[in-house]
Structure formats: structure tokens, C-alpha cells
A and B are shown apart, each in its own frame.
Chain A
Amino acid sequence: MFYAILRRFGQMLFVMFGISVIVFLIFFATPGADPAARIAGRNASPEVLAAVRHSFGFDQPLYVQYTRMMEKIFVTGDLTSFVNRGWKVVPAVMDSIPVTLSLVFGAAVLWVVVSIIIGVVAAATRDSWLDKLLMALGLLGISMPVYWLGEVMNLMTQSRYHESWAFSWVPPLGYKNFSDDPKGWFLTLVIPWITLAILYIGIYGRVLRAAIIESMQEDYIRTARAKGLSETRILFRHALRTSLIAFVTLFGLDFGALVGGSALLTEVVFGLHGIGKLTYDALQNLDLPMIMATVMYASMFVVIANAVVDFVYILLDPRLRAS
């Protein structure tokens, strides 16, 4: 077991190394992508370009530049932005992490709980009006883009109906630190949580319903009925339990991606300065140190999420425990 974890950790490091090299090469070694030209600005004289190149170390061999950048991210932590030279990227990423984690964790709790309820209820009342209604709502949730839904939410809760009793509790957009103001943290995040969760509730509810219905056709469900178990017990202990494997696969992928920056749209719409926003701005400015830092962070989360999913698999499915 210990050896397996160690090996897994090694794999994770290897994947992250691969990603960092690829990102580095894309920005430094792609023909025509001269970082010095971007920093020096338009119409820079050859002397200025040379000076920029020298001061940023672009005249060094690639492997030296790469090693230096990694050293500055992981060892000294003093890598600075190309756009704003006083801006250290590692603290900037660290400051954004709690924002994104708060957003994604809360939304994940919401979507997991609600989609399990929806999936189970829809599967149990299969083909009834309730099932059809829930599935139609799920489809509606999937169809609404976050940037649109978020703006509609803002319109309702921040301006149009803000004065009404229903939304008067909604604080202005922005993020409050949990440690400073737990209540404010919670209240500012409620609307973003719901907005982000709606899409996933639709997807997960539908996936879970399909998985449960498929399980209900299995021979072991007939055995469970022959044992004289109640339908509720069969549904929860046998059908749902075996359906969760598909659910967890999906969750690991989505969660990793969201924490890694895919919650960008939600962050922008609600003025949350999280990882997604940071990555987006860095890409806009081709700010390589910042891109490198956010990408390393994102890949770390995706890799960790995958490892956690694999571990949960083993918990859920004894067939995977053998080796």
C-alpha cells in the first residue's frame, strides 16, 4: 500500500514535470513568439531588445531558463511577473487559491447532494411525470451557460429585485475571507455556488438516473428481490451503491478541472479573483511567469483529483482491490 502511494506520487511529479516543459516550450521556443519583443513593446530598437533579452535572461540556453524559472517557483518563490516586475506570482496564486476553493467546494457539495437526490428520485419514479419533470429541469440546467445564468442571477439579486425580501440579504459582489468574516464569506458565495452547481446538477442527476436504471436491470437486483428486501433498500444499498462508480469518475474530472481554473466564467461574472481569473489575465498579457505558476498549480490539482478518484474507486469497488 505504502509502495503504491509512493509510486503514484512519483507519477504525479512526472506528469507535472511534463506539463511544465510543454508550457515552457510553447511560450519560449515557438517560432515567432519572442517574449523580449512583447516586453520591449512595439517599435523597440534592436539595442533595447538586446538589453531586455539580457536583463530577463532570454539570452541564456533554454534549459538554464527553464531551471531558473522552476527554481524561482518552487524553491525561492520570488518569480516576478513580466508585466509588472514588482508583482510576485507565487503569492498571487496563493491568494487566489482560497477564493477558487471556496467557490468550487461549496458548489460541489451542493451539486453532489442535489444531483444524488434527483437521480435517485427520478430513477425510483421512472417514466412518471415527476421523473420527466426532473429530467427536463436537468436539461434546462445543462443548457444555460454560466456567463448568462450568472448575469441573470446578478441582475435579479443585485439590482432588479435586490430591494425585495427575497434578495435583500445578498451582499455586493466580491469575496470575503472566511477567517475575517465567516457570515459574509457564506453570503457572498451563495449565489455563485448555486449558479455553478446548476449545470452540474443537471449533468450528474441525469447520469446517475441512467446508471441506477441500468443497475436495476442486473441479475443481482433480482437476487435482492428474491431475498425479500424492501424496494428502498434495494435501491439504496444495491443499485445506488453500484452506480456511484460512474458518478465518482465524473466528479473527479470535473472537480479537478474546476479547481484548476475552469471556474473562470463564474469567477469573472461574480467578481471573484480566483485562479481562473488570474490565469485568464495572465494569458491575455502573455505573462509567462504567471501562466507557468497557474498552470503548475492547476495541473497539480488535476493530478491530485485523479489520484483521489482512483483511491475512492478502490473503496467503492472491491474488484479493484486485488492487485
Chain B
Amino acid sequence: MILSVRDLKVSFRTHDGPVRAIDGVSFDLEESEILGVVGESGSGKTVSLLAVMGLITDPNATIEGSIRYKGRELVGLPPRELRRLRGNEIAMIFQDPMTALTPVYTIGWQIAEQIRAHRGLSKSKAMERVEELLAEVNFPNPHEAMSRYPHQLSGGMRQRAVIAMALSCDPALLVADEPTTALDVTVQAGILDLVRKLRAKHKSAVVFITHDMGVVSELADRVMVMYAGRVVERGTRTELFSDPRHPYTRALLGSIPPLTGQKPRRLPAIPGSPPSLLRLPQGCAFGPRCPVRYEPCEAGKPGLGASAHAAACFRVAQA
């Protein structure tokens, strides 16, 4: 077990009152496993992983619960200790490669900076390592690419540089926050290939955040679906795609156009929009948009249960 998150709660104080962005999220991650985290914008998928990284710097945020990395509790760990893990054992790839790199330094310099922060290598040794890494993420001319500035590279190339940076210290855990969202479809496929290949080589566990079910179905071993700060369903990829239980998961899968067979005249969409975290509905947060809601849904919040394939829904519990 590389990562074990238990009952994680993140809330922010705002002018309009406290907002609970994450409300009791639990999950486990085994070594070299890929966990897909799916959900709409605002469902808390990014915030929960930023909490794991210790990257929630907002002074108005409070984090409760437990995040254990290789058995070590990360919540409440002094910043110095966390910093030693970050970039070294736990690395992150961000959504927008256009803005994720400091514009005034070369790619090589920025990757070497991370290596030197954790490994204490000499400058030239670090640069040798950078060249290897850039070759590994398929830069056609790694030596030349090192002296390139971010603005001189395309989005896909920048994302490769960010991935090289994330891998520079052989992390045991890699958090990828929608790394393909900002990229063209053809470039996306290349990046996904790369993540898969690197997982095989480096044996890193990967948490892959996305709102794209297609990406999940290609990449993830296990999947976790989030809605309004809670996990609504979890299971293996096969379980989730062949036997979706939560009405939200079903609706998400139903809104993907089929590649074969008869095309629906209209693509089914989920009615309504995600609730504001400031004004969550009584009971189940998905209730107001749910096609199968009934009385218990307004009375209380459904729990997820303990089984491997579980859905937080009273209808499922009843069945």
C-alpha cells in the first residue's frame, strides 16, 4: 500500500460562509497502480489530490482526516518534511503545460533545479540526468531541448517536459491532474502512451485526475467517481464500465456517444448542473438531478460502504 487516504475533509472559509470542498474522501492506492479519479469541475478531484501533495497553501483552508504515504501520516507534517517528499517521492503533473513552467528559465534548468534540490548532484551531473529524462519522454533532440525556453515549445512538448520533471527523482507516486485536457487529441494519445510506458518502467503508482471517461477506460486499473466533494462510486475499471451502479456514473457513461450500433438522436445529458458547495441539497447531493430518487434520498446522505465495488446510493444498497 503506497497511499491510504481516510475520511479526508477540506473546507475553505469564504465570505459567504464555510465551503466544504472535500467531505470525507477515502481511498487506497497500491504500488504501480493507476487510479482514475473522475468528476465534473468542482467535484473536488483536484483539491483532494492537492491536499495529498500538501499544496493547499490557502490560509483559509482546513484539512482534516488522514493521508498516509507508505504508512507515514502526511496531515500535520511540518513543511520541511513535506518538501522532502514533494518532487522526490510524490510528484505532480499539472493541467495546463502553457503556464506550469516558469517563463524565464530553460527547460533543462528547471528540471535540474528539482534534481539538485533532492539529490544534491553537481550541475553537470544533473544536466546529464536531464538529457536522459528528456530522451525518455521522447524529445527528438534532448540535448538541444534542454536549452529551450518554455515559450519555444509546443503544448505537447511542454507537457512532456513537465512529465520529465515529475519523473526526475523516480517518484513512487505520481499525481496527474488532467494532463491531457489542454492538449490536442492526437497529442493526448501520445501523452497517455507515455504515462503508461513510464508506469511500467518506473513502477510508480499514478493517480490520474480527469473528466474524460474515455481516458479512464484506456488507462486506469481502478476508478473513483466523485460528485460534490464525495466519492459516489469506486471499483475496478471493468466493474465500473460493465456494471455502473450509481445513477451518476450511469448518466456519465450514458452521455458518451457509442462508436458502433445505432446512434441516439440526441445525446442524453444529465439534467441540471452540479450543486453549489455553499448550498448543498438536503440528503444526497445528486438527488435533485437523479432520475431514480425516492424518499430516503432527501432524508440522509448515502454512505459508500466497504466493498471493493461500491456506490453511495440508497437504491444500490436496497437492491
* CB contact list, A225-243 vs B, under 8 A: 225-231, 233, 237-238, 241-242
A319 to B88, CA, bound (A): 30
* CB contact list, A8-50 vs B, under 8 A: none
A227 to B86, CA, bound (A): 6
Give, as a whole number of angstroms, the nearest-CB distance from B151 to chain A: 5
A238 to B104, CA, bound (A): 8
Give, as a whole number of angstroms, the nearest-CB distance from A79 to chain B: 47
A316 at the interface (CB under 8 A from B): yes
Q: What band does the interface of chain B fall in when counting residues whose beta carbon is under 8 Å from A?
A: 20 to 34
Q: Which residues of B contact A224 (CB under 8 A)?
A: 102
* CB contact list, B69-125 vs A, under 8 A: 79, 83-88, 91-92, 94, 96, 99-104, 106, 113-114, 117-118
Query: Provided the pairs A226-B87, A228-B84, A228-B117 are in contact, do residues A319 and B92 lie with their beta carbons within 8 angstroms?
Result: no
| Binary per-residue interface labels of chain A (288-319) against chain B in the complex, 1 for a CB within 8 Å, 0 otherwise | 00000000000000000000000000001111
Please state if A227 and B101 are interface contacts (CB–CB under 8 Å).
no
Please state if A227 and B87 are interface contacts (CB–CB under 8 Å).
yes
Query: Provided the pairs A218-B99, A219-B96, A227-B87 are in contact, do residues A242 and B104 lie with their beta carbons within 8 angstroms?
Result: yes
* CB contact list, A184-221 vs B, under 8 A: 218-220
B55 at the interface (CB under 8 A from A): yes
Task: For B50, give the chain A residue with the smallest CB separation.
Answer: A222
Task: For A215, give the chain B residue with the smallest CB separation.
Answer: B102
Q: Which residues of A contact B92 (CB under 8 A)?
A: 226
Please state if A228 and B85 are interface contacts (CB–CB under 8 Å).
yes
Please state if B101 and A223 are interface contacts (CB–CB under 8 Å).
yes
A240 to B55, CA, bound (A): 20
Q: Which residues of A contact B88 (CB under 8 A)?
A: 228
Query: Provided the pairs A223-B162, A319-B149 are in contact, do residues A228 and B103 lie with their beta carbons within 8 angstroms?
Result: no
Task: For A223, give the chain B residue with the smallest CB separation.
Answer: B100
Q: Give which listed residue, B55, B113, B149, B151, contacts A225 with CB less than 8 A.
A: B55
Q: Which residues of B contact A227 (CB under 8 A)?
A: 86-87, 113-114, 117, 165
B260 at the interface (CB under 8 A from A): no
Q: Which residues of A contact B91 (CB under 8 A)?
A: 226
A319 to B103, CA, bound (A): 8
Q: Which residues of A contact B151 (CB under 8 A)?
A: 318-319, 322
B228 at the interface (CB under 8 A from A): no
Please state if B117 and A242 are interface contacts (CB–CB under 8 Å).
no
Interface centre among B55, B103, B104, B149 (most CB of A within 10 A): B104
A-B contact count (CB 8 A): 74
Q: Which residues of A contact B101 (CB under 8 A)?
A: 220, 223
B273 at the interface (CB under 8 A from A): no
Please state if A318 and B86 are interface contacts (CB–CB under 8 Å).
no
Give, as a whole number of angstroms, the nearest-CB distance from A238 to chain B: 5
Query: Provided the pairs A228-B86, A228-B87, A317-B103 are in contact, do residues A223 and B94 lie with their beta carbons within 8 angstroms?
Result: yes
Give, as a whole number of angstroms, the nearest-CB distance from A314 to chain B: 12
Q: Give which listed residue, B57, B87, B99, B104, contacts A219 with CB less than 8 A.
A: B99
Task: For A126, give the chain B residue with the smallest CB separation.
Answer: B59
Q: Which residues of B contact A316 (CB under 8 A)?
A: 104
Task: For A222, give the chain B residue with the smallest CB separation.
Answer: B55
Please state if B117 and A229 are interface contacts (CB–CB under 8 Å).
yes
Q: Give which listed residue, A222, A228, A231, A241, contacts B104 with CB less than 8 A.
A: A241
Q: Which residues of B contact A233 (CB under 8 A)?
A: 117
Give, as a whole number of angstroms, the nearest-CB distance from B29 to chain A: 18
Q: Which residues of A contact B25 (CB under 8 A)?
A: none
Q: Which residues of B contact A318 (CB under 8 A)?
A: 103-104, 106, 149, 151
A219 to B101, CA, bound (A): 8
A119 to B141, CA, bound (A): 41
* CB contact list, A75-95 vs B, under 8 A: none
Give, as a whole number of angstroms, the nearest-CB distance from A322 to chain B: 8
B157 at the interface (CB under 8 A from A): no
Give, as a whole number of angstroms, the nearest-CB distance from B156 to chain A: 17
A151 to B113, CA, bound (A): 51
| Binary per-residue interface labels of chain B (161-200) against chain A in the complex, 1 for a CB within 8 Å, 0 otherwise | 0100100000000000000000000000000000000000
Give, as a whole number of angstroms, the nearest-CB distance from A126 to chain B: 10
Task: For A229, give the chain B residue with the smallest CB separation.
Answer: B117
* CB contact list, B197-255 vs A, under 8 A: none
Task: For A239, give the chain B residue with the smallest CB separation.
Answer: B102
B53 at the interface (CB under 8 A from A): yes
Please state if A238 and B149 are interface contacts (CB–CB under 8 Å).
no
Task: For B89, give the chain A residue with the smallest CB separation.
Answer: A228
Q: Which residues of B contact A218 (CB under 8 A)?
A: 99
A105 to B166, CA, bound (A): 45
Interface centre among A228, A230, A237 (most CB of B within 10 A): A228
Q: What are the 3 closest A-B residue pairs judged by CB atoms, nearest first?
A: A228-B87, A219-B99, A228-B86
Can you list 15 A-B contacts (CB < 8 A)? A218-B99, A220-B99, A220-B102, A220-B103, A223-B94, A226-B86, A226-B92, A227-B86, A227-B165, A228-B83, A228-B84, A228-B117, A231-B79, A317-B103, A319-B103
